[in-house]
Structure 1
């Protein structure tokens, strides 16, 4: 067998094995590298490289070495899930850098962090004054988690006393000009609804690069032709405006009539419409 063919076969085989090993180790290894993850990733890659470019090397040795470097990190991960103390040893533990608004200089030194390093980490979290931080902790993965002081936290609807409707994640229902039926069904919608909404926008499915719908059934699309302007969804504003107009008309009728029975009827219905507006207002904003 020619050497170049041997190299191709060994490369494809080792790449496939390495792929499944990393997959079995878990996606955590790809996003949060600890000591064993980093070592095993480098060594496994090195084993694959050596036994790929050297056709004379024993392929069985490559499999044995890869198995060892797979089973050790896998075992460490398994034991770490069972034992907190072993997990702290193998993966490290969190270190407090700022507590009660004060920088813990000794902890910085233990982790080899300078003041510049701390400030850089704070800037990564969009914090430019250390005095704005109530608590900050260095995670084992190397990321810095911070809790700003209460006066520096952004206002929320709860702080302002607003009641908001629950909101679910939007679904991508059109991609590359093709309808995705499963996300559409997740919203309890169908293709007839989609065709109707696209007709309102005067576009066809084939011209849509990306289409998304929210839990309220509002469709937003991005077209292949960026020069074509697509109107924003108007169902919610129109519904709110229509209900406000009905409520205002009922109040106007109550003021215009001299019949006491009719006046009471208009006022009663005006209050009912206003109550309905107050009920659905969180869903329309």
Structure 2
């Protein structure tokens, strides 16, 4: 029944969900230990406390007014860098409790906060001022690629065929990569493949050191060598057409290197 009620029963509880969870647990405990009580009465009570929250949850999905009534609304604590003391009093929050919540978000100066709101779940959401926000690759003009979900291809020394196929790889590739780093399949506790096809492993034998993945550094070094070779060929040939072709290819490779070098160094 609690599984049907949803994952919110064990995560972000509203007041109503909190009370529902307590009552359901108390009724289940009462039915399990009180041998003199009628089992059917307890079952009916649990059924009622299951049906009512489920019905209300379905209704709140369709009505914002009911959501605000049963789940509550967020309360703004800091707006445009200014603490709203009246809202703190309304939620019976002290300055110490506000500072504690900010520290939990790795914020140690109130002056760094642009906006903060206490959500209905009791969590504090914080927006830093623009100058205090972390720099993103987009702001630096760095091109990024879409990350794919890492695939766990080995668990407890057992090969997982489905994740391996999802990554577009074969068993032969996996055994070759394991051979490169000098480990056996049976000694691998967890093995994962990332977006770039790099295999990382955690071994049962913690004393054994595993070399770091080398696919990206190797690709970067290979591209740099290609660019250097093309530049060398352009200097070595006497034919003007071939010289211009090698120079053009070298310039194109150099432009590509500038674009992908930040990705291959991460």
TM-score w.r.t. the length of structure 1 is 0.88
Give the match's secondary structure for 1:66.
helix
| CA–CA distance in structure 2, aligned partners of residues 280 and 112 of structure 1 | 52
Aligned to 1:164: 144
Which residue in 1 is equivalent to 2:98?
118
Conserved? CA contact 2:198–2:213, under 8 Å: yes
1:246 offset after TM fit, Å? Answer: 2.0
How many residues align? The count is 265
Pairing 1:46–2:26 present:
yes
Contact 1:136 1:146 in 2 (8 A): yes
Take 1:194 and 1:200, find their aligned partners in 2: how far apart are those partners?
Answer: 10
- 1:156-194 CA distance string (max 9 Å, x none): 101111111111221111111111222212211221221
Deviation of residue 238 (structure 1)? 1.1
Partner of residue 155 from structure 1, selected from 135, 141, 147: 135
CA pair 280-259 structure 1, distance change in 2 beyond 3 A:
same
* Superposition TM-score, scaled by structure 2 size: 0.94
- State the SS of the aligned residue for 1:272: helix
1:138 Cα shift?
0.5
Shift of 1:276: 4.1
1:241 to 192, 217, 221: 221
Partner of 1:273: 253
Matches within 5 A, 1:89-168: 89-168=69-148
- Structure 2, unmatched stretches of 5+, are none
Q: Deviations over 1:29-84 (max 9, x none)?
A: 21011121111111111111122111111110110110111111112211111111
Q: Which runs of 5+ in 1 are unaligned?
A: 1-20
State the Cα distance separating 1:154 from its structure 2 match: 0.7
Give, in angstroms, the shift of residue 257 of structure 1.
4.6
Aligned residues: CA RMSD: 1.6
Aligned-pair distance for 1:214? 0.9
5 Å-filtered alignment, 1:1-285, equals 21-278=1-258, 280-281=260-261, 283-285=263-265
Distance 1:243 1:252 in 2: 14
